[in-house]
C-alpha cells in the first residue's frame, strides 16, 4: 500500500528513513540477537542506546552540562503537574502566560497544588496572538514563568521568547528541534516526543541542574526530577522503544545538517502554505501573521460544510489528519520536521483544485 501524506498533530509523521532502519533492526539490534523491545534496560546494549540518544540531543541543541537531559513517561501532561510540585516552594507563585488550549491546561493543573498568576491571557481575543513584552504582568519573586512556545491547536507560537527574571519554563511539545533556540535562556524545556522527535509514550525534559535541587521532600520520589537525573533516566523501566526511535530521529536530523538546516526547510514549507492561504479570500487564517506557527498551520473555509468536504476529499487524495481540533474546528496541517516538502506541494495543488471547484 502506498504511504499517505500524514498531517496528523500527534502521534505524527516519522521520517521514512527512521522507520526503515527500525524495521531492519526490529528483531536484532546490533547483533544482540534481540529487539530493543526485548532487552533489559540495565544491559550494556541498551545503555549504549540511551547514552547515544542523550549525547545527540545535547549536541543538536547545544546543551551544556549545567542541564540534565531526561527521558520520562507520562507525556507533557504529567509535566503540567510535576513542574509546580518540584519548582514552586510553599507560598510561592508561578506565573503563566495563557496562549491557548495547552497553556490553559497547564494552568489548571498548577492551580491544584499552589498559587498561580496568569500574567497574560489571549482567551478573550480567541487565542490569535502571543503577548508583547510590556503586556506581561509578572510576579516579583515568582518561582518560574511558564509558556507553551507553540500552541498545536491554535497554530500560534512565540517568534521571540519573553524576558523574565524568574526561570523560563517552556512546553515545546509541538516545535521541539524545529528551530534554533538558546537553551541557556530557559530554566526548563519539556516536550512530548510524539510530534517531532519520536513515538508517543516518551517525554524529553531538559532542566537546569540548580532547579532540580528545589524539590521539597513532600514530593513523591518517582515525581522528583532529581530521582531521574541521579539514575540516568533509568530509575524505573523506561520506554526503551521510544528512546531508541528518538536516537534514530536524532541521527536523521544530523544527516540533514542539524537544527539550523531543518529550520530552513520548515520555514520554506510554512511560507509556501501560508502564501496559498493568503492568496485568496476562500481561505482564512485567523492567527496574527507575526505569531503564526511554522509547525501547525490552521485555516478556515467559507462554511463548515466546505471544510468537511475538504477533509473528506483530501483523504481520498492520500492526505490525512487535516481536520482541525474538535475544540476549534476548521482545517489544520501539522507540518512537522518529518513531513516532506512533497506533502506540502501536494496539499497546495489539492487546495488550488478544490478552490476552483468550490470557490
Q: What is the pLDDT of residues 113-129, one digit of tens each?
A: 999 999 999 999 999 99
- Asked if the structure places residue 115 within a domain, the reply is yes
Residues 67 and 131 in one domain: yes
Average pLDDT over residues 19-29: 98
Task: State the pairing for strand pair 168-171/156-157.
Answer: unpaired
Q: What is the pLDDT of residues 174-222, one digit of tens each?
A: 999 999 999 999 999 999 999 999 999 999 999 999 999 999 999 999 9
Q: C-alpha 178: how far from its chain's center?
A: 9
Q: What is the pLDDT of residues 283-323, one digit of tens each?
A: 999 999 999 999 999 999 999 999 999 999 999 999 999 99
3-state secondary structure the chain: CCCCEECCCCCCCCCHHHHHHHHHCCCCCCCCCCCCCCCCCCCHHHHHHHHHHHHHHHHHHCCCCCEEEEEECCHHHHHHHHHHHHHCCCCCEEEEEECCHHHHHHHHHHHHHCEEEEEEECCCCCCCCCCCHHHCCCCCCCCCEEEECEECCCCEECCCCCCCCCCEEEECCCCCCCCCCCHHHCCEEEEECCCCCCCCCCEEEEEEHHHHCCCCCCCCHHHCHHHHHHCCCCCCCCCHHHHHHHHHHHHHHHHHCCHHHHHHHHHHHHHHHHHHHHCCCCCECCCCHHHECCCEEEEECCCHHHHHHHHHHHHHCCEECCECCCCCCCEEEECCCCCCHHHHHHHHHHHHHHHHHHC
Residues 206 and 296 in one domain: no
- The CATH number of whichever domain residue 100 belongs to comes to 3.40.640.10
Identify the pLDDT of residue 254.
98
Kindly tell me if the per-residue pLDDT of 241 is higher than 70: yes
Residue ending a domain, choose from 209, 235, 256:
256
Average pLDDT over residues 65-82: 97
- Asked if the structure places residue 300 within a domain, the reply is yes
- Asked if the structure places residue 5 within a domain, the reply is no
Residue ending a domain, choose from 211, 239, 256:
256
Residues 278 and 176 in one domain: no
Read off φ and ψ for residue 336, nearest 5 degrees: -65, 175
Residues 152 and 52 in one domain: yes
Residues 207 and 146 in one domain: yes
Q: Residue with C-alpha cell 471544510?
A: 307
Q: Tell me what percent of the residues of the chain surpass a pLDDT of 90.
A: 99
Kindly tell me if the per-residue pLDDT of 264 is higher than 80: yes
352 is catalytic: no
* CB-count exposure of residue 182 (10 Å: 0-12, 13-18, 19+): exposed
Confidence band for 165, pLDDT divided at 50, 70 and 90: very high
**Per-residue CA distances from 189 to 93, 179, 198 (Å):** 19, 14, 16
171 is catalytic: yes
* CB-count exposure of residue 195 (10 Å: 0-12, 13-18, 19+): buried
- Asked if the structure places residue 6 within a domain, the reply is no
- Asked if the structure places residue 1 within a domain, the reply is no
Q: Which of 169, 186, 172 is nearest to 87 (CA)?
A: 169
Residues 286 and 332 in one domain: yes
Residues 218 and 124 in one domain: yes
Residues 252 and 262 in one domain: no
Q: How many CB atoms lie within 10 A of CB 327?
A: 9
Average pLDDT over residues 95-109: 98
Q: Of 102, 120, 252, 299, which is the active-site residue?
A: 102
- Asked if the structure places residue 2 within a domain, the reply is no
Q: Rounded to whole angstroms, how far apart are CA atoms 231 and 221?
A: 12
Q: Tell me what percent of the residues of the chain surpass a pLDDT of 70.
A: 100
- The CATH number of whichever domain residue 267 belongs to comes to 3.90.1150.10
Residue 56 cell numbers, joined:
545527540
Q: Rounded to whole angstroms, how far apart are CA atoms 55 and 241?
A: 17
- Asked if the structure places residue 149 within a domain, the reply is yes
Q: Can you give the residue range of the structural domain that contains 322?
A: 257-358
Kindly tell me if the per-residue pLDDT of 1 is higher than 70: no
Query: Helix 75-87 crosses helix 101-113 at what angle (to 10 degrees)?
Result: 40
Residues 225 and 268 in one domain: no
Total domains, the chain: 2
119-136 burial code (b ≥16 CB/10 A, e <16): bbbbeeeebbbbbeeeee
- Asked if the structure places residue 154 within a domain, the reply is yes
Residues 187 and 284 in one domain: no
Instruction: Provide the mean pLDDT of the chain.
Output: 98
| pTM: predicted TM-score of the whole model, two decimal places | 0.98
Identify the pLDDT of residue 322.
98
Q: Which of 147, 165, 143, 178 is nearest to 76 (CA)?
A: 147
Confidence band for 7, pLDDT divided at 50, 70 and 90: very high
Residues 100 and 66 in one domain: yes
Cα radius of gyration (the chain): 21
Q: Of 195, 247, 269, 323, which is the active-site residue?
A: 195
Residues 26 and 105 in one domain: yes
Q: Of 56, 95, 120, 171, which is the active-site residue?
A: 171
Identify the pLDDT of residue 359.
86
195 is catalytic: yes
Residue ending a domain, choose from 187, 222, 256:
256
Residue 173 cell numbers, joined:
511539545
Amino acid at each position: 500500500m502506498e504511504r499517505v501524506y500524514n498531517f496528523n498533530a500527534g502521534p505524527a509523521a516519522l521520517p521514512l528513513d527512521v522507520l526503515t532502519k527500525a524495521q531492519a533492526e526490529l528483531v536484532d539490534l546490533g547483533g544482540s540477537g534481540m529487539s530493543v523491545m526485548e532487552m533489559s534496560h540495565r544491559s550494556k546494549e541498551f545503555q549504549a542506546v540511551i547514552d547515544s540518544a542523550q549525547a545527540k540531543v545535547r549536541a543538536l541543541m547545544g546543551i551544556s552540562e549545567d542541564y540534565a537531559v531526561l527521558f520520562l513517561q507520562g507525556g507533557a501532561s504529567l509535566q503540567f503537574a510535576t513542574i509546580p510540585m518540584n519548582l514552586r516552594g510553599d507560598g510561592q507563585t508561578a506565573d503563566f502566560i495563557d496562549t491557548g488550549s495547552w497553556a490553559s491546561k497547564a494552568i489548571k493543573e498548577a492551580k491544584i497544588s499552589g498559587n498561580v498568576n496568569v500574567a497574560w491571557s489571549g482567551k478573550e481575543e480567541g487565542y490569535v496572538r502571543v503577548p508583547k513584552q510590556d503586556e506581561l504582568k509578572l510576579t516579583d519573586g515568582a518561582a518560574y514563568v511558564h509558556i507553551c512556545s507553540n500552541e498545536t491547536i491554535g497554530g500560534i507560537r512565540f517568534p521571540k521568547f519573553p524576558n523574565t527574571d524568574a526561570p523560563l519554563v517552556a512546553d515545546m511539545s509541538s516545535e521541539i528541534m524545529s528551530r534554533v533556540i538558546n537553551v541557556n535562556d530557559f530554566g526548563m524545556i519539556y516536550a512530548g516526543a510524539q510530534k517531532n522527535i519520536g513515538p508517543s509514550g516518551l517525554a524529553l525534559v531538559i532542566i537546569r541542574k540548580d532547579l532540580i535541587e528545589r524539590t521539597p521532600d513532600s514530593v513523591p520520589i518517582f515525581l522528583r526530577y532529581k530521582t531521574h537525573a541521579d539514575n540516568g533516566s533509568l530509575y524505573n523501566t523506561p520506554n526503551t522503544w521510544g528512546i531508541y526511535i528518538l536516537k534514530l530521529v536524532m541521527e536523521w536530523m544530523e544527516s540533514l545538517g542539524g537544527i539550523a538546516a531543518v529550520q530552513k526547510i520548515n520555514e520554506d514549507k510554512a511560507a509556501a502554505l501560508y502564501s496559498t492561504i493568503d492568496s485568496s479570500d476562500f481561505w482564512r487564517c485567523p492567527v496574527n501573521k507575526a505569531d503564526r506557527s511554522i509547525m501547525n498551520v490552521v485555516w478556515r473555509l467559507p462554511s463548515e460544510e466546505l471544510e468537511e468536504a475538504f477533509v473528506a476529499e483530501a483523504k481520498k487524495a492520500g492526505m490525512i489528519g487535516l481536520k482541525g481540533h474538535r475544540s476549534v474546528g476548521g482545517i489544520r496541517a501539522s507540518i512537522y520536521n518529518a513531513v516532506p516538502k512533497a506533502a506540502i506541494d501536494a496539499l497546495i495543488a489539492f487546495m488550488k483544485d478544490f478552490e476552483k471547484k468550490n470557490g
